[in-house]
Structure formats: C-alpha cells, structure tokens
C-alpha cells in the first residue's frame, strides 16, 4: 500500500496477505474485523492506520488462513522463522488484542497507541521471538496476566508497568517527568491495568509519574527495560520468547 484511502469492515481479516504486507503511505480505516491486518511479514513505514478488531489488531504468523487449527491466527509458543512485525513509521491506533507476532517484533519509528485486551489471557504486545525497540513512540494498555514488554536487546528505554488496580474506561493516562512535563498521554476506551510505553524522551535515572484516574505511581528508569510486572514475561521485558 503506497497511498490512497482504504476503509474496510469484515467478519474476518480487514487486510490479509499470505506473504508480505507493506504499508508506506495512505490512510487505512478498518472499522470492524476479527483480525485487522495480517501477514507473514507486516512492515509499516508510514501512513495513518486505525484498526478495530475483536482479536489481534495486527497479526503476523506463518501457515494458511483456513479457519482450522493451522490458520494464521493460531497461537504457537515457539517462534516461527520468517515471521516479523516491523514498525518504522506512521501513526497507528489499535482497538483490539493489540500487536501479535508469532516471530519477532521490531520498532524503529512511528507512533502507536494500543487499547488492548481486557482478558488476562491476552497481552497488548504478544510475541514468540524477540521484541526490540530502537525508536518511535508506543503506549499499549491491556490486562494483567499475559503482559509482555520490549526485550533488553533494545536501544531505546521502555517501561512495562502494572498498576495496583484496574483503571476504568475513558480515563486519561498521562506520563510526566520529575518537572511535571507531560511526556506521553492516551485515553483508552476500555478497562486496563498494565501499560507498556517507550519514547525517545525517556532517560535512564529519571523518575516518571504514571497517572490514570485516581491512581498515581512513580517509576525510575533503571535499565533499558524497567518493569514491575509479574506476568508471563516475569517482569523482565524478555528478549527471547514467552518465558515458559
């Protein structure tokens, strides 16, 4: 996709490629889908993308899309070779289970907002290989239980943080620095408790305040990945699989 305006509503995939799917420009609005954007390798270099999905907003997996147990959306615990999600640019808004790669996930640019799952059996970020961030901005909110963050093979700082209790829908989330300057903000339209965020503005040793509804908690960046999570990634923001 190199330009134009695409609007789609589907009972299955909003956009599907059995091989590679690359978006470099254009406006894509998927208002209804099971999985919004699907392919073995999905690369987003630019454009404005909005996805509403009952399952994954973006899904990367190998195999056929037959509706059987080997359909592309089927979860597998081992990383699939030749399966990648690459985000290098663009503005992406996801309302669904989030970003799912059965292989690797790399982010080098762009701006991504994920209003993720309310079910603890899913994560706003879900990957079977590695998740690496070197640039860009992302805020992904979801449930506690299967949450995952970026791996320590990244070069840009990121945080995976679970709040003490669930946040109501339509409560604004803000992340501010020690001077009270707003670094990031997002208003999820569903309940959530876990958030992953990354930005070039994050600095090691700095303390940031996460505020959502009546909750306000601080986090100090103590490494390339900072996490208090006890979910499936065991709080590490691992770089090598699901932690099983």
| Mean per-residue pLDDT, 94-122 | 95
| Confidence band of 241 (pLDDT split at 50, 70, 90) | very low
Q: Please report the pLDDT score of residue 217 as a whole number.
A: 98
Q: What is the CA radius of gyration of the chain?
A: 17
Helix, strand, or coil here: 98?
coil
Distance between CA 40 and CA 100 in Å, rounded? Answer: 11
The first and second tokens of residue 73, run together, are 């959306």
In this structure, are residues 129 and 103 in contact, taking their beta carbons and an 8 Å threshold?
yes
pTM metric for this prediction:
0.89
| Mean per-residue pLDDT, 120-128 | 93
The first and second tokens of residue 164, run together, are 């003490």
pLDDT at 236 > cutoff 50: no
pLDDT tens digits, one per residue of 43-87: 999 999 999 999 999 999 986 543 434 444 444 456 788 899 999
In this structure, are residues 18 and 65 in contact, taking their beta carbons and an 8 Å threshold?
yes
Distance between CA 188 and CA 162 in Å, rounded? Answer: 15
pLDDT at 242 > cutoff 60: no
């Amino acid at each position: 996709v190199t330009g134009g305006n695409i609007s789609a509503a589907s009972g299955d995939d909003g956009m599907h490629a059995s091989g590679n799917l690359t978006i470099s420009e254009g406006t894509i609005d998927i208002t209804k889908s099971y999985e919004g954007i699907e392919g073995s390798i999905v690369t987003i270099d630019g454009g404005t993308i909005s996805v509403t999905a009952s399952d994954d907003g973006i899904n990367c997996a190998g195999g056929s899309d037959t509706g059987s147990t080997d359909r592309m959306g089927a979860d597998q615990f081992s990383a699939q070779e030749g399966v990648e999600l690459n985000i290098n640019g663009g503005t992406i808004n996801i309302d669904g289970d989030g970003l799912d790669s059965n292989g690797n996930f790399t982010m080098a640019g762009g701006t991504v907002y994920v209003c993720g799952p309310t079910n603890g059996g899913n994560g706003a970020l879900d990957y079977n290989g590695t998740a690496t961030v070197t640039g860009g901005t992302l805020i992904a909110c979801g449930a506690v239980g299967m949450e995952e963050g970026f791996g320590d093979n990244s070069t840009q700082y990121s945080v995976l943080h679970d709040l003490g209790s669930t946040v109501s829908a339509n409560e604004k989330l803000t992340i501010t620095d020690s001077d009270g300057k707003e670094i990031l903000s997002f208003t999820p339209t569903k309940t959530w408790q876990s958030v992953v965020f990354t930005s070039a503005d994050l600095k090691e040793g700095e303390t940031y305040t996460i505020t959502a509804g009546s909750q306000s908690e601080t986090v100090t960046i103590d490494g390339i990945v900072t996490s208090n999570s006890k979910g499936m990634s065991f709080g590490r923001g691992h770089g090598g699989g699901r932690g099983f």
